[in-house]
Amino acid sequence: LRSPCRSFHGNNRLLTSQIVSYYESINQCKKELPEYFNFASDVLDEWARLEKDGRKPANPAFWWVSDEGEEVKWSFEELGSLSRKAANVLCEACALQRGDRAMAVLPRVPEWWLLNVACMRAGIVFIPGTSQLTAKDISYRLQASKAKCIITSDTLAPALESVLPGSQFLRSKLIVGRGSRAGWLNLKELLAVASADHECVKTRSQEPMLIYFTSGTTGFPKMVVQSHSSYGIGFTISGSYKFPSLKHCVTGGEALNPEVFAKWKIQTGLDIHEGYGQTETVTICANMKGMKIKPGSLGKAVPPYDVQIVDDHGAVVPAGEEGTIAVRVQPTRPFCLFSQYLDNPEQTAASMRGDFYVTGDRGVMDEEGYVWFVGRADDIINSAGYRIGPFEVESALLQHPAVSEVAVVSSPDPVRGEVVKAFIVLAPAFVSHDPEKLTHELQQHVKKVTAPYKYPRKVEFVQDLPKTATGKIQRKALKSKEWARVRQGQE
Ligand code: ATP
Ligand code: MG
């Protein structure tokens, strides 16, 4: 492929559907992945050409509205021209070359998308980081990624400065916004004088485009390398929904408790469509629009992924049996699966089992192919031979009005090996209740709504739960603390 558009004629409607069906065919493995692919030149620039020829309705390429009502609207032509200027800024003033890495710690301002496209054009690997990261998080990410450029806003720059001297790889620092600081370049000023001529690099489909850090729920975040095709082609397929008003709700990243599903339905009249995936895979299962939703399930495999539940040897287990959620990589490795964990060959190798990439999450597939989440493998509790997933116990506890948030982990026990322990954040109305009575009541409640052996033998009321920057509960951190504390007490 250069782009399919170059060989297509006809009106825009036909062209759009042809492009989408071309990429869909790749996703369904009916067509081969092109050797070269670059979203900026193969998709955005094609749309700009259609726009210029009047063969495309005048819909903006980009439309951003801030909380204060400030608007930024770009046509494809404007996005193209601005991102070419930004690519020149990165290559010249920031001294970045193809293959170099640039990390952006930014709120979702228009420049975030602009720089994304600029990096695609220049072959620079973009590393997005949320503005909620702490100085320690940023320091770790800079060192691990060996990023040569850091991009941030004028308001975040002062906080970042404390960690920057520690990074020996950093060559340039770029501020987005109005402010100026000594030692920092300013994107706005540089864009005003930059040339709009830039030749987009010809990237191979599998060439690195992005490095995402995983959430770090279980340890140090890992660097997940995604290629030009994995995101570029995936996005081309999913760009078609419109949301004039709320019609469709999705969730992912953490288990969706039935309680949340039910409350949402009552208050909005809408179902939540749950999806499941990882930084490594993007979405692998989903309750997609139009299909039967099974509340509480992760949905069915999303093409091109062949999702199976496998045992410890990589053999597929029968429907209804618990195992590891896995993605088939033989004979064909899905092109949208990450390439590797950067600088971590051991972890990369450990993620493969026989013909499968293993997610590290436990689940069950039913007869209709829907996958049900049990828990992260490390979070499963083994109490006197019973294997208990934290999700089910947490869901049961959340049905009680006293429970605002909860995390269930194992606690060491001299007789049972491990027992179920619940860390609970109470709803405000229950904070002054007698803790012993409340514990008993919650234990009885769990015994009633789920298998009695799953009830939490230990309960601790806490102010809050440890979470990652993206709000995921760090059960592993709670478990380590719990085990250390109990063992210390036993000595
Ligand atoms: P790390 O790998 O650094 O420990 P992480 O696994 O949380 O962190 P992500 O890639 O952001 O990093 O998250 C993927 C994980 O999130 C999945 O492996 C799974 O455990 C969990 N997850 C994602 N979607 C769901 C879901 N719908 N239900 C339950 N868990 C989910
Ligand atoms: Mg993970």
| Interface ipTM | 0.99
Tally of CB atoms within 10 A around 282 = 22
Tell me if 212 CB under 6 Å of ligand 1.
no
Helix (H) / strand (E) element for 286: namely strand 282-286
Tell me if 273 CB under 6 Å of ligand 1.
no
Query: pLDDT truncated to tens, each residue of the chain (491 aa)?
Result: 223 333 222 333 334 455 556 666 666 666 778 889 999 998 899 889 888 887 776 788 999 998 888 999 999 999 999 999 999 999 999 999 999 999 999 988 999 999 999 999 999 999 998 888 888 888 899 999 999 999 999 888 888 888 887 788 999 999 998 878 888 999 999 999 999 999 999 999 999 999 999 988 888 899 999 999 887 775 554 483 344 577 889 999 988 888 788 878 777 778 899 999 999 999 999 999 889 989 889 999 999 999 999 999 999 999 999 999 999 999 999 999 999 999 999 999 999 999 999 999 999 999 999 999 999 999 999 999 999 999 999 999 998 989 999 999 999 999 999 999 999 999 988 999 999 999 999 999 999 999 899 999 999 999 999 999 888 999 999 999 999 999 888 65
Tally of CB atoms within 10 A around 46 = 20
Tell me, in angstroms, the distance from the centre of ligand 2 to residue 194's CA.
40
User: What sign does the CA torsion over 386, 389, 390, 396 have?
Assistant: negative
Q: Which ligand is nearest to the CA of 212?
A: 1
Tell me if 111 CB under 6 Å of ligand 1.
no
Tell me, in angstroms, the distance from the centre of ligand 1 to residue 425's CA.
22
Q: Which ligand is nearest to the CA of 278?
A: 1
Tell the residue nearest (CA) to atom 14 of ligand 1.
Answer: 278
Tell me if 101 CB under 6 Å of ligand 1.
no
Closest by CA to 351, choosing from 366, 340, 335, is 340
pLDDT score, position 7: 29
| Residue labelled with tokens 């995604």 | 226
Q: Which ligand is nearest to the CA of 219?
A: 1
| Residue labelled with tokens 């450990």 | 350
Tell me if 383 CB under 6 Å of ligand 1.
no
Tell me if 279 CB under 6 Å of ligand 1.
yes
Rounded distance between C-alpha atoms, residue 424 and residue 57, angstroms: 53
3-state secondary structure of 335: coil
Contact 86, 115 (CB under 8 A): yes
Closest ligand 1 atom to Cα of 360: 18
Tell me, in angstroms, the distance from the centre of ligand 2 to residue 88's CA.
35
Q: Pocket of ligand 1, candidates 132, 212, 261, 279: which has the most ligand atoms within 8 Å of its Cβ, to mutate?
A: 279
> Residue 301: beta bridge partners?
285
Query: What region does 290 belong to: left with phi over 0, alpha with psi -120 to 50, or beta?
Result: left
Tell me if 338 CB under 6 Å of ligand 1.
no
pLDDT score, position 416: 93
Tell the residue nearest (CA) to atom 1 of ligand 1.
Answer: 216
Q: Pocket of ligand 1, candidates 251, 347, 373, 473: which has the most ligand atoms within 8 Å of its Cβ, to mutate?
A: 373
3-state secondary structure of 149: strand
Tell me if 373 CB under 6 Å of ligand 1.
yes
Rounded distance between C-alpha atoms, residue 438 and residue 4, angstroms: 64
Tell the residue nearest (CA) to atom 29 of ligand 1.
Answer: 255
DSSP 377: G
Tell me, in angstroms, the distance from the centre of ligand 1 to residue 255's CA.
9
Helix (H) / strand (E) element for 190: namely helix 187-193
Q: How many angstroms separate the Cα of 478 from the Cα of each of 381, 418, 439, 464, 485?
A: 13, 14, 19, 11, 11
Tally of CB atoms within 10 A around 482 = 18
Tell me if 222 CB under 6 Å of ligand 1.
yes
Tally of CB atoms within 10 A around 329 = 18
DSSP 34: P
Tell me if 278 CB under 6 Å of ligand 1.
yes
Tell me if 255 CB under 6 Å of ligand 1.
yes
Q: How many angstroms separate the Cα of 7 from the Cα of each of 2, 4, 26, 200, 282?
A: 9, 6, 17, 20, 31
Tell me, in angstroms, the distance from the centre of ligand 1 to residue 375's CA.
10
pTM for the whole thing?
Answer: 0.67
Tell me if 467 CB under 6 Å of ligand 1.
no
Q: Which ligand is nearest to the CA of 256?
A: 1
Tell me if 457 CB under 6 Å of ligand 1.
no
Closest ligand 1 atom to Cα of 468: 7
Contact 157, 175 (CB under 8 A): yes
| Residues written for the chain | 491
Tell me if 215 CB under 6 Å of ligand 1.
yes
Contact 49, 40 (CB under 8 A): no
